[in-house]
Structure 1
């Protein structure tokens, strides 16, 4: 049933160490490995608990007014602002490109530790579940596949944002061998690919879309993550271009399976596909996400959809804050004459109507996370956060096919699918005609533009800058036009100039201090 992952959220709070030999009395806030995996139900609970955190507790949920961890990339790009940055400094220092390992130690250490906590639990499941009794073979393989998916997901996040990281694939169950050096990124990626291929080929994963599969990891989710991994490897810093073909194959396998589809528009703009995505957690575009249930663990994102100075009657949050505000330079990426996504109350909004009054924001705020019930009744968000959507699968396929096979009609079709939905009053034939005849580089840049627009609230902008080493430049006088310039030496929208070292985050200072085997990323010493 939906929200199954939340039933065992408490398991994620327990340490997974066996310390009986070290301590004369077992600590009452810990569970030993033997206890935790003492029954099939407990082992299943361990894997179910991985769904709660996804990529570490709080990585996607906005929580405090500093914004969610994943929003850091938007701030680094210079395209997003946080109204609360005077209280939580990470937004300000990111825009200023002053991401110091000591100043932001607590922030990055929570990120780093959260990811490794999930990896540790996945390692425990992967080691012990194969030898446990009480499972059917199908159930055992499924649980192992889910654990491998989450291990891969967390290592992918770490290696993208920090570069070389310690690769740990066994539970650390004592006080020996706890100082682990950084592993080369290529080896980390190899482990990620191995985990995902195992999950796909051996894992007995469901074929249906994520919501229709009881909100459990599916073939489509694993293949989509694999496609994203290969696309990243093909770009910087590895520049292993042979992985474009692998990315194309993985994305194509999701498309050809026929289980996923773009959400279609209804009869009115209020029933647009984007509003359907906002108000529903059950559709075939949903590939993988983080679940929320207001009765157990609520989603805080609704309260960051309204600026703090706007107080419409009946608001049920003591305070709201526009913590992921797209600045004008980002909004200029959309052509307001043809692109539905930039119209009010689609991806973003700039006003709200309440009790016959209209409250103008004077800025844009995310609308995709707006929940009227949460904001005006309960104060508790319940919508899920989508980490991967089918739109991204189509865009990965379009780029990867163009890079590995050329600008084929297949690649054009996938890009046109996404653009056609956004350009809702433009004839599809005109969209296709504009894409026909483009060179490989021209076509790929069109894909990059569509990723910037379509995935605005899926937190891809910084990953794309890292991967392509290209910075998108927009123009107030030519809205919808985007050119790409080398990011190194380019200034962001806050007047700060990027250097090579800015494209990786620093290793948290606490980790450097407690683990002598770690070395800091260049530029942060």
Structure 2
């Protein structure tokens, strides 16, 4: 009895939200958590030498990208072969990873949104933190709804076991919350460049995310409004100094905080390095070329057929722009060469590979190039082809052109395109501009179309209905391929959940 007071615990690791949200420092710490967890991490974190971020597996569904280690990372194999329906239990780790991490972040965001306004602190500072939390809540729900379709939608922090096992909320309702959160974020956050805002979310990052949300739903009038907001921002397209090592594409690979970058994940050597990203630039034989990493794998490598999306004069397909086939270590003379499949130059980090073994290049979620392409397509989709839409698309095409064709010349030419031809040209430029940034599957889902890249004619791409099309591995898309299954673990934990149709 004499030990009673001593044994009373006050666990700092088990504080309730009401106990925790007392100071501005606590508010900032919780919002900071959202920057490096949940959906952003599922896209930007190279945690494994053998498999890329969760979102990279989506690209395998098209058959245009492969993981050279898919014999071990069989989720990539089943995605590429469109056989996930028979292997739900086997691939549960991928779904659990996405589900658990996103919902952990959603819960933190819900707590921040509920409690930060009650903290005694500067009102403007509090409003910005809440707006950032709403951005990340929207980001995580957007990721989940694209991955799984209808999902549970808690909007309050979990503080007890009540209402722990929610049913799935219909997709339109989830999108309503996402749109509301992002609109509020746009209205509150500062109208400055990401790099000038201490790498915190800005008005333009929120507007870019909202543009993507509207594009994914086919709401092109709204998408055009927010895309043009970003186009009119202080951000701008990176320019070529030459068509070699100082091209815009090499600058994007090498340099952080370019004006083109609207939102990125920060990496540095001391606090949060980029882990295995540099090793994804090569095939396994590169272990003989470097002594800083023990493993190299093409975890998200393009097939040769995908590379036929480029015309031969497109700068982006030239060696050492987005892709490469040969590298000589300048310190040792050791050579890596691939006579078949391309390596991914966009992931190449020379200092990490030659010296430190620590990747420091930031991962770009959104670039100004995407704002231009979204604005061009959204305008064409909603009001037709005009000089404004053509001018936006022309900037992307002119930057990649090696023959000196100007923006003005491209703008004039593009205005002669029919609406359908112009829109498909926007789709094709997205394939060419973001080949290694994991956007191909989202575009297939939102358009309902599959890009059929010619095997013999460089630059020729046709489009066919996604369901019923054959992917580049020869497997036929089914309706059930459009979503991932819910993991078996989640179904066992939560009896209110139901599995997506077509999955065991």
Q: Tell me the TM-score normalized by structure 2.
A: 0.94
Contact 1:59–1:111 (Cα < 8 Å) also in 2: no
SS in 2 for 1:176: coil
Instruction: Work out whether 1:408 is the aligned partner of 2:386.
Output: yes
1:101 matched residue in structure 2:
88
1:210-225 alignment, distance < 5 Å: 210-225=194-209
Matched, 1:73 2:50: no
Aligned counterpart, 1:49: 33
CA distance in 1, matches of 2:358, 2:113: 35
Q: How does 1:113-512 map to 2 (within 5 A)?
A: 113-133=100-120, 135-201=121-187, 203=188, 205-234=189-218, 243-257=219-233, 259-299=234-274, 300-336=276-312, 338-354=313-329, 355-362=332-339, 363-428=341-406, 429-512=408-491
Report SS of the residue matched to 2:286: coil
Structure 2, gaps ≥5 residues long? 1-6
The structure 1 segments of at least 4 consecutive aligned residues displaced by more than 6 Å after TM superposition are none
Counterpart residue number, 2:3: none
> 8 Å contact 1:66–1:89 — kept in the other structure?
no
Match of 1:9 in 2: none
Out of 59, 66, 74, which is 1:89 matched to? 74
Contact 1:81/1:323, CA 8 A, preserved across alignment: yes
2:446 aligned counterpart, secondary structure: helix
Offset, 1:366? 1.5
In 2, the alpha carbon distance for the partners of 1:57 and 1:485 equals 32
Mapped to 1, the partners of 2:150 and 2:426 lie a distance apart of 28
Distance of 1:26 and 1:365 partners within structure 2:
54
Provide, for residues 235-273 of structure 1, a one-character-per-residue CA deviation record: whole Å limited to 9, x for no partner.
xxxxxxxx210000010111123x110100113511000
For the residues of structure 2 that align with 1:310 and 1:361, how far apart are their CA atoms?
10
Aligned CA distance change for structure 1 residues 418 and 24 (closer, same or farther; 3 Å): farther
Conserved in 1, the CA contact under 8 Å of 2:34 and 2:133? yes
Q: Deviations over 1:362-387 (max 9, x none)?
A: 32122112111111211111111111
Gaps of 5+ in 1: 1-22, 235-242
Instruction: Report the Cα distance in structure 2 between the residues aligned to 1:198 and 1:427, rounded to whole angstroms.
Output: 41
The residue matched to 1:364 in structure 2 has which SS?
coil
1:267 to 1:102, Cα distance in 2 relative to 1, 3 A: same
RMSD of the alignment, in Å? Answer: 1.7
Rounded Cα–Cα distance in structure 2 between residues aligned with 1:250 and 1:399: 13
Per-residue CA shift, 1:380-401, capped at 9, x if unaligned?
1111111111100111101100
Aligned mates of 1:509, 1:290 — CA distance in 2:
31
Q: Distance in 2 between matches of 1:307 and 1:411?
A: 40
Give the secondary-structure state (helix, strand or coil) at the position aligned to 2:105: helix
Q: CA deviation at 1:507?
A: 1.2
Deviation at 1:32, TM superposition (A): 3.2
Please give the alpha-carbon distance, in whole angstroms, between the structure 2 residues aligned to 1:305 and 1:524: 34
Confirm or deny: 8 A CA contact 1:399 1:411 kept in the other structure: yes
Aligned residues: 490
Distance 1:293 1:54, change over 3 A: farther
Q: Secondary structure at the match of 2:236?
A: coil
SS at match of 1:490: coil
